Structure 1
Amino acid sequence: MSIFDDRVGLQPVSVLFLWAIFLDMIQGASNILSIRWAFLGEVVEDEYCTAQAVMKQIGNDGVGMHSIHLISSRRYRDLSKDVLVLQPGSPSRLHC
């Protein structure tokens, strides 16, 4: 097997990782915008403030929802492995 695999495309994990990075970048960019308030010495309610608030909201909520999705999907996967399904013809008791 070579490092240059024939499979092309993004894996689902790659998409989730890139989405998390994108949301974190939005959140970080909104925090960088706070430099203006430091230089002014006050917070002025204008379009700049509204844009920063929207970016913070999207970043914070997006990162939170992404984390909830990862936790819930991981928990569901773990639970589905623990479920024992008895198929026809399978032994009725488990022998360990």
Structure 2
Amino acid sequence: MSLLEIVRIPVAPDSADALVAVILDAEHGYLAPPYCVRREVFQSADRDHVVAVILWASEDAHETAANSEVARTFFGLVTRNANGDPRIESLVSTPDPAR
């Protein structure tokens, strides 16, 4: 089973683009295969929230990635650009996607 995670991050409008870039750049680190299968990033219309939708290969893959050194670096960059604590809106197991 894959794991679908939806995270909502408050952000100052002038930092929204930087936060989106941090999340997109993580495809070469924290959000890289084989742990992360897919990620999408969205901004709210008023640019005060960024939402990341992340599909992990499995719960174990999520756990392994979350405990890595690149995760600590990633979370530090997110914290630096966020305007408050990220909130996990959803974390659910889902059937594996067709790859």
Structure 1 and Structure 2 fold alike (TM over 0.5): no
TM-score (norm 1): 0.30
**Higher RCO, Cα 8 Å, sep 6+:** 2
Highest CA radius of gyration, 1 or 2? 1
TM superposition score normalised by structure 2: 0.29
| Structure showing the higher strand proportion among its residues | 2
